[in-house]
Amino acid sequence: MASSSLLPSVMLLLCLAASASAQLSPTFYATSCPKALDTIKAAVTAAVKKENRMGASLLRLHFHDCFVQGCDASVLLSGNEQNALPNVGSLRGFEVIDSIKAQVEALCKQTVSCADILTLAARDSVVALGGPSWTVPLGRRDSLTANEALANSDLPPPFFDLVNLTKSFGDKGFSLTEMVALSGAHTIGQAQCLNFRDRLYNETTSIDAAFAASLKPNCPRPTGAPGDGNLAALDVSTPYYFDNKYYVNLQAKKGLLHSDQVLFNGGGADNIVSNFASSAAAFSGAFASAMVKMGNLGPLTGSQGQVRLSCSKVN
Binding site for ligand HEM (CB under 6 A): 53, 56-57, 59-60, 63, 90, 92, 156-158, 160, 165, 182-183, 185-186, 188-192, 195, 234, 257, 259
In the complex, the smallest distance separating the C-beta of residue 108 from ligand HEM, rounded to whole angstroms, is 28
In the complex, residue closest to ligand HEM by CB: 189
Which element (helix H / strand E) includes 99? helix 94-107
Catalytic (active site) residue 64: yes
In the complex, the smallest distance separating the C-beta of residue 211 from ligand HEM, rounded to whole angstroms, is 17
Full DSSP string of 33-74: -TTHHHHHHHHHHHHHHH-THHHHHHHHHHHHHHTTTSSSSG
In the complex, the smallest distance separating the C-beta of residue 81 from ligand HEM, rounded to whole angstroms, is 15
Query: Going by C-beta distance under 8 Å and a sequence separation of 6 or more, which residues neighbour residue 155?
Result: 64, 67, 68, 84, 86, 87
DSSP 8-state assignment for residue 214: H
Angstrom CA distances, 138 to 15, 179, 192, stand at 19, 23, 33
In the complex, the smallest distance separating the C-beta of residue 275 from ligand HEM, rounded to whole angstroms, is 18
Of the pair 186, 293, the CB lying nearest ligand HEM is at: 186
Which among 62, 64, 186, 258 is annotated as catalytic? Answer: 64
- List beta partners, residue 231: 192
In the complex, the smallest distance separating the C-beta of residue 300 from ligand HEM, rounded to whole angstroms, is 21
Angstrom CA distances, 130 to 31, 39, 170, 195, 284, stand at 30, 19, 29, 27, 11
Of the pair 24, 54, the CB lying nearest ligand HEM is at: 54
Residue 251's Cβ-side half-sphere holds a number of Cα atoms within 13 Å equal to 14
How far apart CA 258 and CA 240 sit, in angstroms, is 21
Strand runs labelled E in 128-236: 190-192, 231-233
Of the pair 39, 261, the CB lying nearest ligand HEM is at: 261
Of the pair 86, 305, the CB lying nearest ligand HEM is at: 86
Degrees, nearest 5: CA angle 24-168-124: 40
Of the pair 177, 306, the CB lying nearest ligand HEM is at: 177
* C-beta separation of 165 from 261 below 8 A: no
Angle subtended by helix axes 53-66 and 280-295, to nearest 10: 50
Query: Going by C-beta distance under 8 Å and a sequence separation of 6 or more, which residues neighbour residue 197?
Result: 219, 221, 223, 227
Full DSSP string of 171-186: TTT--HHHHHHHHGGG
Of the pair 37, 193, the CB lying nearest ligand HEM is at: 193
In the complex, the smallest distance separating the C-beta of residue 234 from ligand HEM, rounded to whole angstroms, is 6
Which residues does the annotation mark as catalytic? 64
